[in-house]
Chains A and B, each alone.
Chain A
Amino acid sequence: MILEKRSNKLLRLIAPGLLTAVCLLTVAKLYAFVNEAISIALEAATPYVEQGFEVREDNWSGQVEPKKPLLVRHQLFRGNEYWFWAGTSWTGASVRVDIFDSSGNSVGLESFAEESYAGVRVLPQKTATYYIRMVAEYDPEKAAAEAQAIGVLPAADGVGEFGTSVDWGLVYGYR
């Protein structure tokens, strides 16, 4: 009886710790495996997969200051058609993507930008390295409106507010 009481007490003492550890591990694991910006870029790619584009598993991602352009170098082959899709998961953030040849000339044939994702299509005129430019924007008013629309309460001072950068992800497909 005494032993049972002691073990219950011990369990009560270590249970919160264990629970916290499990939660932290789960969050760490999710953080390691889920890249929201890439998920959004892949979502943008979905309709094109039905058109025969094969989307690569490898991709680019990171954090960037709004308005600061990013440049990604990539080898393309003449004879293939490519789409590049960019995404960001930050509330109130948007992305644009375009592509240039090795002389810096714009070569995108078609593009779109829909708030958190964007895409550009290219038919390379030569096999070479191309440059994909991505720019993210952040609009605090839009972020507040979007947060309110989904029922998120205004952040306490400094908590959950915009820092200095937003996430970005870039994927591509070819056919």
Chain B
Amino acid sequence: MIRTSSIPTIIRLLLTTLAVLTSIVIRAQDDVPERIDLTNFPGEIVDKVVVPIPVEIFSVLDKLGELDWGNGISIPENEPQTTERAILALTFGSLVGEGFIAVQAKDREKIQKVGHRVLNLSESLGLASAVRPHSLGIIEAADLGDWERVREELDNTQQTVRETMVRLRDEELSGLVSLGGWLRGTYVVTRFISEAYSEDKAELLNQPGLISHFREELASMTGPSKSSSEIRAISTGLARLEGVITDEEIISEEDINELREISHTMLEEYYFGTEDAAN
């Protein structure tokens, strides 16, 4: 009798204990405020901007439909004919971006070509010893068809070069590497979206924060490269991109075509020869 009547009590006790435990767990998670005031943040705002690699956007595009990535590869015919380090840094970033496109296409030959080009370019920048292991890693992984590792090595290559530049007090060049990669990725994305427009795809270009970051970086350059015709043209291009991409607004098909034209013109300044009709 006592036992029978005590069963619900035990259950009640168990339920109460469970409820208390649950409330503790929920309270621990409730530490996160529902909302914070970003205009009056009571702490430190970190200055560093990490620029997404092109493959972060490519992977979304892939989810939205099948694309002919092979058609997006456009490795320049010739190696850069300049010793201007700012231009070499931009080209380096764009070549890494090209590598990411070639990985999406799973094109071994083109990836290996990018791997060799990256190494040559790093020699011109005086960074070959840091880049060589990654460059060889790209070539080897492409040979094995290990696409995930190729992506890792491409990201590693870019990161190694940027860190080495920062160590050598070449922060400006480090930022240009990121800009070059972003620009190459942006151009190919606008190309694909303009071929089969949808609002979902176009939304991927809603990146006003990044454009503003790149504009600030170019504006804060202090070396002689700042006044080179290429850097001035890229600054103008970024201002034009910023004019098209305004936060909170749908990016129209017309906007996409404009973004495509602007980014192509910017790449023609240092990457695609003007003779390459890389459309």
Contact = CB atoms under 8 A, between A and B. Distances in A.
B64 interface: yes
Given A71-B44, A79-B63, A174-B56, A133 B203 contact: no
B3 interface: no
Interface residues of A, number: 41
Interface in A54-97: 54, 56-60, 62, 64, 68-75, 77-80, 96
Contacts of B207: 75, 127
Interface of A: 32, 54, 56-60, 62, 64, 68-75, 77-80, 96, 98, 100, 102-106, 108, 111, 113, 126-129, 131, 133, 172, 174-175
Interface residues of B, number: 48
Given A71-B41, A104-B35, A127-B205, 18 more contacts: A56-B50, A57-B156, A58-B162, A64-B44, A70-B44, A70-B46, A73-B46, A74-B50, A75-B52, A75-B209, A77-B60, A103-B35, A127-B203, A127-B207, A128-B206, A128-B247, A131-B36, A174-B56
A59 B56 CA distance: 15
A105 B34 contact: yes
Closest 3 CB pairs of A and B: A69-B43, A79-B60, A57-B159
30 contacts: A56-B50, A56-B155, A57-B152, A58-B50, A58-B159, A62-B46, A69-B43, A70-B43, A70-B45, A71-B45, A73-B46, A73-B49, A75-B52, A75-B207, A78-B60, A78-B204, A79-B64, A79-B200, A96-B32, A98-B32, A105-B34, A105-B35, A106-B32, A111-B29, A113-B28, A126-B206, A127-B204, A127-B207, A129-B209, A131-B36
A72 B43 CA distance: 11
